[in-house]
């Protein structure tokens, strides 16, 4: 018998490997998704998608706006668990703080501008913008999108381009 063909029984294998290399507890998983300062948000940020809204009258979004946003997300095969929604009107914070807190791969600005978040560059609505290994998309508020079919079509074209090509 050569050394390449040694087979160990389950008891011996268990005794040899008593300690794990990776801790997969729930606390560790959550810390990986939201690692920076604690910022009030809706969603679990499973897919590292940050959605920034600006509505001073609600905590995150009113029922009609949330229904529209959920429909948009569902069309992209994304759920509320996949995103983190932050209302920057209720939780003022800047770009570096948001990136540290959520480590997003995609940032979706609804009714807020890059300049209002101290973003280092400005870009127009409905333009996918790459910066620092992240993709950004700015669009009008959910209230405006609900009333403007042309704006919804422009948004949908951008979302299809991003989520169906990535």
pLDDT in tens, 13-24: 666 666 655 555
Residue ranges of the domains in the chain?
Answer: 39-165
* Per-residue tokens: 164: 């169906």
Among 33, 35, 61, 31, residue whose Cα is nearest residue 45: 33
73 close to 65: Cβ distance less than 8 angstroms:
no
* Superfamily of domain 39-165, CATH level 4: Uracil-DNA glycosylase-like domain (3.40.470.10)
- What pTM value is reported for the model? 0.76
3-state secondary structure of 56: coil
Q: How confident is the model at residue 83 (pLDDT cuts 50, 70, 90)?
A: very high
pLDDT in tens, 28-45: 444 445 555 689 999 999
Residue 142: is it exposed, middle or buried by C-beta count within 10 angstroms (0-12/13-18/19+)? Answer: buried
């Amino acid at each position: 018998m050569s050394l390449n063909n040694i087979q160990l029984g389950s008891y011996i294998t268990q005794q040899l490997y008593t300690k794990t290399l990776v801790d997969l507890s729930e606390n560790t998983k959550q810390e990986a998704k939201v690692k920076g300062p604690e910022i009030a948000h809706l969603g679990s940020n499973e897919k590292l998608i940050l959605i920034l809204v600006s509505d001073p009258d609600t905590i995150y979004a009113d029922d009609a706006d949330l229904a529209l946003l959920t429909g948009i997300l569902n069309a992209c095969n994304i759920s509320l668990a996949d995103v983190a929604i932050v209302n920057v009107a209720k939780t003022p914070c800047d770009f570096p703080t948001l990136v540290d807190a959520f480590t997003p791969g995609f940032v979706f600005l609804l009714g807020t501008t890059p300049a209002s978040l101290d973003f280092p560059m400005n870009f127009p609505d409905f333009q996918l913008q790459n910066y620092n290994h992240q993709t950004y998309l700015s669009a009008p508020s959910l209230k405006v999108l609900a009333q403007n079919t042309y704006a919804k079509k422009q948004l949908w074209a951008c979302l299809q381009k991003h989520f169906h090509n990535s």
